[in-house]
Chain A
């Protein structure tokens, strides 16, 4: 069925609908992802809640779908936009095809789009909202719908409804789930940690009451400055002295808790090839990233910038002075993307008091 994406500025892209049936127009923020593999991880990354993801690589779906590659229970993107989806995947471990997976999970998708033109448009104009409707719907109607769309409380949509614990022999780590990717938890468990995942609105006192050896502020969707509760919580947790590690949104919350600010980037970083330099050592890493906001205005007497982006110089990591707390804007858990910075989990766990359980 012919369908189209119309952006809030009126630019339209027509293609073929696939995945879930498109009944009424779907709205969301349109972002592009430059990874050439890892579409399933992208689909299931809760940080994409509220966003329609455009894959810049044209051939998507080649190796199918499998449970092991899901980064959460279900896809979170609002819609999926590709050039040339593959209907007959090939991989020994594939459990099904992309189109069926999207359909089963209610995700609308568009194919046959000039995703490069769309990406260039987003790069030039900055991230825009968009609406997908059937081809016969008026462009203006879709543009208006896009413009009217507001994301709502995205973290609430994706955080775990209840706390749960994954047992392990090592230190007890609490993960504040703002939309955590599975591989964060898997990485901790692989290091022997006992991991308790708590909802985003859990208070600092409750967390501290469980006597954590360390705390992780997870990744997640949306504007960090709207998360006033978690910010307060993060500040209290920092004051407690328990070692902390922030990832992506968690990094932004850490900065906010320290009195810094975040600001919306023009079109964000979404991909698996973002170059980051570790300032202290001069080492450089290729990282996975997925964020629309960047940390600014950190007080150097409170926190030190540890990493920066080699392309645009944005803050990629910070360390709180006088505390064992640090955070990174990129995703050391990868999935998708390179595992070049996976050692950060090891570093974090290594500094946790062993006895504390």
Chain B
């Protein structure tokens, strides 16, 4: 195998009578997905779930999948035998089980949601009733890990140290415990959403306040107090164990941020950097000890706190399932944890599972790295700037990036570039005075890394910073290396090769030296300083491997050998963030698959470790790199692709089209000029005008007086958006001149360079189209109508297919305009258009020359392989040639005999101080789907899937702004009809009673109390318009959100909920498998 002399031991595969046989009795297995993307649970479970489905089917098993998230690869029809895009509730999962009768269920692949659902199914007796066996990690093991009390007891039993803690029910008890072990203490309310309401109490005042809040928020009035380990090192191990008790550690990881900052919000490196071998092995052994005691069979994540000043450690928690960390570990090492976990679940031993990297050895091995891996979280504070940016024990990041290099500095700087925040290096985010900077460093918000660099730049010493922040001096020293090198550059001493090894981008060197990016690049290319690409092979080159997984490094041998087959590069979409979610990874993955099907070599560049696109088995080659001009060009220079696809990776990839084109790269599909004409407001207006297509009247104002003139001309209300955002107030609707003035004064800097864009606001129906164009014809799989009127961002609206209220004439007009625009802009590939329909009038809001959020959903419900069709179009295969019949240039299949809706899902619970009211700025993090025979049925499932399954009888608290009161009547009536009891704030109650709707009156204070006491099941609250902040409403919405009470701020949504609850009857609509409705139209 590796060229050894013959030996007498039998081959590794042979002669094992002691291994577990694969389960012969299993034919059909159910997999539970993780549902919508929310903070704390993102694309990593699509990666895990997809791998698991593939792994199970490799074993000849029939896979039944349930997952409500249509934006995932795992819910593609090809991934499982039966795909149920159904709510992840006990009722709906039970219905699927009754229908499909799987013999086994894997509980540990769908994140916390999947795990909880599996436990709930067992508790409800569903599994017993249908004879479904839990495979892999068993229920008692899950309970031992998940239940904090049981977990603590287990750890005490096996003498693994856990921090002292106590469950308390009163302030007095809290005080007594604090007296006993001292402050600071960690406060964790029991059973609150995402640990909200907790925190670190540093002083007796803190303690009183946080405990009081926690007791109030905990539905059972219970709070856990725990000794604070703030400032200790946080270390994680990813462990695998099989049924034969074989254990391996796939990877360990060290958080740069100390304990106290959630691992999901921490900068993380792999492997650990500051642990010596004793530390490393001690924690590894403890991790094994723990997973054995718990009885894990599969993958498991163990988190430790390690004292930076002694050998002491504590166990923080154990996740007996695949997790965000396991996805990161898989990408960091090349070891496919989810795949192996799935095989373990069906009875294979680690020593029987083939090592997918070498193809010859087994999965019982521990990867070793010969590079350094860096993960940096991506936070949503660019969207939510009123949010509390401080990082703590509760996660706030929506996504993450990963970078790999042979130096720590290189990996760090690459990761920073990958964030797509416009950072080309460790530049200070704002010019803070010294004292504020010192505070900022300690405060630990999302910008701490940059503040640390700035503090070092200003001469703060490493010991002082380490002391203040808990960041290990080793990491600070590395950051200082970067800062010192910056200084050399600024002083004109440029050792380019060394700087590149330290990860400096051309752009950063260009700005530090004053020479500009282009000049640095020229000098670099001239002197032959180019990166080489190294392979991620799990074994540090010890064995021959063929993983097509590469990262760049300066200096040394290039391992990404040229390949003669023509290749196309697909640009991925980077980290998951609000507005650019997992949907764009879906597009990237399908683009890769379509290219491979077309006989081309598909190469992907991306930096998001959570995704399917960065599974090295997805593309022919994977480059784990930042998506910047420089990093992408370096790969292009090496691969010499026949073309690059920029339209599937969201805005990140689209933004690279023009620079790449200028550098002579062949951008496939829509030309960069065409993209530019769609994206540039002025140019796009010209196109619309020439086509006689209407758009809301508007203009750009360079000053407040100008803004007022434009607003008067186009007519109030107006939708305004600054091109330069202050304080996060971006797009808003202004109803009158006062509004406008207040907005400009508080939120926007309006100058000729940063004009204010003003459009007449049309509160019509919003309609969305995703289409494939070949330049001459368009394929429109379907039209999507939004439930919420225009003014609620398309990504935050419920979208329904087929449209339920559009006339044939409007639909025809939409199709026609789509064709005209596609032709005029020369679109080849995907496009997405948002329209606002006012009566029978159609206006175009915007056109995105790229894949969109709704493409996966539309692909699923129509069966039209949109991305594949688009890729083929970019390869010059016409739609006709692909088999799509396009009479008059338009292929628009007839409406189906079912209704499907896509519903947004929000992560409010994790983001304090953020207003939950919907508006033109997107706020949702994920989506679910509902499908039914009728519109109400689809809505019903959608609401259930996104957690708005209000159980009737229930009480709705209604608080409606003055201007919405008449419109609210039919909505409230629908809720009443659906069986809801209505309570309302005084004004609202009065207007309801006047109209004959029974409503109990609550004062503002009583309303708040009702929410807090848990007697409200739904809050319908529309915004008091205008700039005066409706602080009562805000507080009410937040209070409801913290307690998990659904909040609706759009009457349209509330109306839809009324419809869903009112007409659906008591029975849950039957589950429906994708294979039974999404009949592929053509392939």
- B1038 lies within 8 A of chain A by Cβ: no
The answer to whether residues A282 and B362 also contact, given A69-B276, A116-B370, A296-B5 and a CB cut-off of 8 A, is no
- B244 lies within 8 A of chain A by Cβ: yes
A72 to chain B, nearest CB (A): 16
A43 to chain B, nearest CB (A): 12
Chain B minimum-CB-distance residue to A39: B277
Chain A residues positioned under 8 Å from B543 (CB to CB) = 123, 311
Q: Which of B48-56, B202-210, B267-275, B719-727 contacts A (4 or more CB under 8 A)?
A: B267-275
- B368 lies within 8 A of chain A by Cβ: yes
The answer to whether residues A57 and B369 also contact, given A38-B277, A63-B275, A123-B541 and a CB cut-off of 8 A, is yes
B residues in contact (CB < 8 Å) with A: 1-12, 15-19, 244-246, 248-249, 271-278, 280-281, 284-285, 288, 308-310, 349-351, 361-362, 364-372, 406-408, 472-474, 477, 534, 539-544, 555-557, 559
Selected contact of A275 from candidates B249, B365, B406, CB within 8 Å:
B365
The 7 A-B residue pairs with the shortest CB-CB distance in the complex, in nearest-first order: A282-B18, A114-B556, A38-B277, A90-B474, A56-B540, A117-B557, A308-B9
Chain B residues positioned under 8 Å from A316 (CB to CB) = 9
Selected contact of A277 from candidates B3, B351, B406, B541, CB within 8 Å:
B351
Residues B12 and A309 in contact, CB atoms below 8 Å apart? yes
Residues B541 and A120 in contact, CB atoms below 8 Å apart? yes
Chain B residues positioned under 8 Å from A281 (CB to CB) = 18
Chain A residues positioned under 8 Å from B16 (CB to CB) = 277, 282
Residues B4 and A63 in contact, CB atoms below 8 Å apart? no
Cα distance A120–B274 when bound, in Å? 27
A116 to chain B, nearest CB (A): 5
- A173 lies within 8 A of chain B by Cβ: no
Selected contact of B351 from candidates A36, A62, A69, A310, CB within 8 Å:
A310
Cα distance A279–B277 when bound, in Å? 29
Residues A84 and B370 in contact, CB atoms below 8 Å apart? no
B654 to chain A, nearest CB (A): 35
Residues A123 and B5 in contact, CB atoms below 8 Å apart? no
Chain A residues positioned under 8 Å from B407 (CB to CB) = 58-59, 84
Chain B minimum-CB-distance residue to A307: B9
Residues B557 and A313 in contact, CB atoms below 8 Å apart? no
Chain B minimum-CB-distance residue to A57: B370
Residues A313 and B9 in contact, CB atoms below 8 Å apart? yes
B345 to chain A, nearest CB (A): 18
Chain B residues positioned under 8 Å from A106 (CB to CB) = none
Residues A83 and B406 in contact, CB atoms below 8 Å apart? yes
Chain A residues positioned under 8 Å from B244 (CB to CB) = 282-283
Residues A35 and B368 in contact, CB atoms below 8 Å apart? yes
Chain A residues positioned under 8 Å from B249 (CB to CB) = 286
Residues A284 and B364 in contact, CB atoms below 8 Å apart? yes
Chain A residues positioned under 8 Å from B9 (CB to CB) = 305, 308-309, 313-316
The answer to whether residues A275 and B540 also contact, given A88-B477, A92-B309, A266-B3 and a CB cut-off of 8 A, is no
B1023 to chain A, nearest CB (A): 52
Q: Which of A210-218, A229-237, A333-341 contacts B (4 or more CB under 8 A)?
A: A333-341
Selected contact of B372 from candidates A58, A66, A120, A334, CB within 8 Å:
A58
Residues A298 and B542 in contact, CB atoms below 8 Å apart? no
Chain A residues positioned under 8 Å from B248 (CB to CB) = 275, 286
Report the interface size for chain A: residues with CB under 8 A from the other chain: 71
Chain B minimum-CB-distance residue to A115: B370
The answer to whether residues A90 and B274 also contact, given A273-B367, A282-B244 and a CB cut-off of 8 A, is yes
Residues A310 and B365 in contact, CB atoms below 8 Å apart? yes
8 A Cβ contacts from A36-73 to B: 36-38, 40-41, 56-59, 62-63, 66, 69
Residues B276 and A63 in contact, CB atoms below 8 Å apart? yes
Chain A residues positioned under 8 Å from B1 (CB to CB) = 311-313
Chain B minimum-CB-distance residue to A68: B278
Chain B minimum-CB-distance residue to A265: B4
Give the secondary structure class of B's interface.
loop
Cα distance A36–B366 when bound, in Å? 11
Residues B542 and A295 in contact, CB atoms below 8 Å apart? no
A138 to chain B, nearest CB (A): 23
Residues A297 and B540 in contact, CB atoms below 8 Å apart? no
- A263 lies within 8 A of chain B by Cβ: yes
Residues B281 and A263 in contact, CB atoms below 8 Å apart? no
A70 to chain B, nearest CB (A): 12
Selected contact of B408 from candidates A59, A90, A305, A340, CB within 8 Å:
A59
Selected contact of A310 from candidates B12, B308, B406, B408, CB within 8 Å:
B12
Residues A271 and B368 in contact, CB atoms below 8 Å apart? yes
- A89 lies within 8 A of chain B by Cβ: yes
Selected contact of B556 from candidates A117, A272, A273, CB within 8 Å:
A117
Residues B534 and A336 in contact, CB atoms below 8 Å apart? no
B717 to chain A, nearest CB (A): 58
B547 to chain A, nearest CB (A): 14
- A300 lies within 8 A of chain B by Cβ: yes
- A119 lies within 8 A of chain B by Cβ: yes
Cα distance A56–B275 when bound, in Å? 17
Chain B residues positioned under 8 Å from A298 (CB to CB) = 8
- A326 lies within 8 A of chain B by Cβ: no
Cα distance A277–B361 when bound, in Å? 13
Chain B minimum-CB-distance residue to A296: B7
Cα distance A89–B477 when bound, in Å? 9
The answer to whether residues A37 and B370 also contact, given A119-B541, A284-B364, A300-B8 and a CB cut-off of 8 A, is no
Selected contact of A296 from candidates B6, B368, B539, CB within 8 Å:
B6
Chain B residues positioned under 8 Å from A263 (CB to CB) = 5
Cα distance A115–B370 when bound, in Å? 9
- A330 lies within 8 A of chain B by Cβ: no
14 A-B contact pairs sorted by A residue (CB < 8 Å) = A38-B276, A56-B540, A57-B540, A58-B407, A117-B556, A120-B541, A263-B5, A266-B3, A281-B18, A310-B364, A311-B1, A312-B361, A314-B9, A316-B9
Cα distance A284–B361 when bound, in Å? 14
Chain A residues positioned under 8 Å from B272 (CB to CB) = 37
8 A Cβ contacts from A8-56 to B: 32, 34-38, 40-41, 56
A260 to chain B, nearest CB (A): 9
A317 to chain B, nearest CB (A): 10
Chain B residues positioned under 8 Å from A119 (CB to CB) = 370, 540-542
- A346 lies within 8 A of chain B by Cβ: no
Selected contact of B555 from candidates A114, A273, A334, CB within 8 Å:
A114
- A185 lies within 8 A of chain B by Cβ: no
Cα distance A92–B309 when bound, in Å? 5
Known: A265-B5, A273-B366, A312-B12; 16 extra A-B contacts, CB below 8 A, are: A56-B541, A57-B370, A62-B273, A62-B274, A88-B474, A112-B555, A120-B541, A273-B365, A284-B350, A286-B249, A296-B5, A310-B364, A311-B361, A314-B7, A337-B277, A340-B288
Residues A315 and B7 in contact, CB atoms below 8 Å apart? yes
Cα distance A66–B248 when bound, in Å? 28
Chain B residues positioned under 8 Å from A312 (CB to CB) = 1-2, 4, 12, 361
* Interface bits A317-353 vs B (CB < 8 Å: 1, else 0): 0000000000000000011111110000000000000
- A91 lies within 8 A of chain B by Cβ: yes
Selected contact of A116 from candidates B7, B246, B541, CB within 8 Å:
B541
Chain A minimum-CB-distance residue to B556: A114
A1 to chain B, nearest CB (A): 16
Residues A311 and B540 in contact, CB atoms below 8 Å apart? no
A225 to chain B, nearest CB (A): 13
- A294 lies within 8 A of chain B by Cβ: yes
8 A Cβ contacts from A225-281 to B: 263, 265-266, 271-273, 275, 277, 279, 281
Residues B274 and A58 in contact, CB atoms below 8 Å apart? no
B686 to chain A, nearest CB (A): 54
Residues A37 and B280 in contact, CB atoms below 8 Å apart? yes
Chain B residues positioned under 8 Å from A297 (CB to CB) = 8
Chain A residues positioned under 8 Å from B367 (CB to CB) = 273
Selected contact of B12 from candidates A66, A93, A116, A311, CB within 8 Å:
A311
Residues A58 and B281 in contact, CB atoms below 8 Å apart? no
Chain A residues positioned under 8 Å from B349 (CB to CB) = 282
Chain A residues positioned under 8 Å from B559 (CB to CB) = 120
Cα distance A312–B544 when bound, in Å? 13
Chain B residues positioned under 8 Å from A126 (CB to CB) = 3
Cα distance A265–B4 when bound, in Å? 6
Chain A minimum-CB-distance residue to B244: A282
